[in-house]
Amino acid sequence: MSAAISPEIKANGASIPLLGLGTWELRGRSCAGMVEQALRLGYRHIDTAEMYDNEREVGEGLHASNIKRGEIFVTTKIWPSHFAPRELERAARDSLSRLRLREVDLLLLHWPNPQIPLADTLGALCKVKRDGLARHIGVSNFTVKLIEEAVRLSSEPLVCDQIECHPFLDQSKVIAACRKHHMAVVAYSPIARGGARNDKLLARIGAAHGKTAAQVCLRYLVQQDIVVIPRTSKERRLSENAAIFDFTLSAAEMKEIAGLTRRDGRVVDWSYSGRMQWD
């Protein structure tokens, strides 16, 4: 069994490995296999969601790895159509049963749901935590305004906001709001759904360090204490995406990469949240 390859960051009482495996779109045997292989390689953080329809396979991979439960940080997310208090608790229990776990390390509200009062949803999320179904709770896709509201309404600490975050998107305001409340920023789509691979600047900086553009992209985030959860369906890329803790980007390189933000940098369609079916 290999040792953990990723340092952890502290956020409101939680210790979160800076590197995790994203699992959106990983399905069936390949999903279970990738989770198992990632854990064998030293990943200690796995990100799933009820919406990914793969919690069963993620659970299979977790159990097949034979790594002690206490060494692995598992996140899942509740879909907004289950934000009514009773439904939230049931959804959390269903996720645990699919994962074959007694508790998850982190349970997130997947997207805001303007149709259900946030106070009610957070009340239910806090209760689920107090009942021992989740060690920590947090949010995802929350704006600065919603973070402020959630922090005010939550009786338990919120440990993160999971947001789209990579060099092509300016998330400085949300990041500042998280830092103000000692919440971790968890970057989803951290290599811009693969888009970072073809970036000339990232490739040039990578060449100077003997690294790929994707590795530079991930390093840029973890060097700011931002948690990254890159997804891959290819075993060779598991190692590539994990080899980001053995080099350092200079201040000048960090500044150059920060200049990559652009107005149309978002890769996940936000209007999606407005179009969601809530029931």
Ligand X SMILES: NC(=O)c1ccc[n+]([C@@H]2O[C@H](COP(=O)([O-])OP(=O)(O)OC[C@H]3O[C@@H](n4cnc5c(N)ncnc54)[C@H](OP(=O)(O)O)[C@@H]3O)[C@@H](O)[C@H]2O)c1
**Considering only residues 6, 54, 65, 141, which one is a binding residue for ligand X as defined by CB under 6 A?**
141
Nearest to ligand X of 65, 241 (CB atom) = 241
Residue 199 Cα distances to 21, 223, 272, angstroms: 22, 19, 27
In degrees, rounded to 5, the angle at the alpha carbon of residue 85 between the alpha carbons of residues 76 and 56 is 30
What span, in angstroms and rounded, lies between the C-alpha atoms of 84 and 168? 35
Can residue 128 be called a binding residue for ligand X (CB under 6 A)? no
**C-beta of 208: minimal distance to ligand X in Å?**
18
Q: Specify the stretch interacting with ligand X by CB under 6 A; choose among 9-17, 21-29, 121-129, 245-253.
A: 21-29
**C-beta of 32: minimal distance to ligand X in Å?**
15
**Considering only residues 12, 194, 225, 245, which one is a binding residue for ligand X as defined by CB under 6 A?**
194
Q: Specify the stretch interacting with ligand X by CB under 6 A; choose among 55-63, 151-159, 228-236, 258-266.
A: 228-236
What span, in angstroms and rounded, lies between the C-alpha atoms of 165 and 50? 22
**C-beta of 39: minimal distance to ligand X in Å?**
15
What span, in angstroms and rounded, lies between the C-alpha atoms of 183 and 211? 30
Residue 133: Cβ-neighbour burial (10 angstroms; 0-12, 13-18, 19+): buried
**Considering only residues 230, 244, 249, 257, which one is a binding residue for ligand X as defined by CB under 6 A?**
230
Strand ranges of the sheet holding 21-22, from the earlier edge strand across to the other edge: 21-22, 45-47, 73-78, 104-109, 134-140, 158-164, 184-188, 227-228
For ligand X, how many residues bind (rule: CB under 6 A)?
Answer: 27
Q: Kindly write out the interface string for residues 49-78 of this chain, putting x where it contacts ligand X by CB under 6 A and - elsewhere.
A: ------------------------------
Can residue 214 be called a binding residue for ligand X (CB under 6 A)? yes
Say which amino acid occupies 53.
D
Say which amino acid occupies 139.
V
Q: Specify the stretch interacting with ligand X by CB under 6 A; choose among 84-92, 151-159, 189-197, 243-251.
A: 189-197
The answer to whether 141 and 171 have CB atoms below 8 angstroms apart is no
Residue numbers at the binding site for ligand X (CB under 6 A): 22-24, 47, 110, 140-141, 162, 188-194, 197, 214, 229-234, 237, 240-241, 268
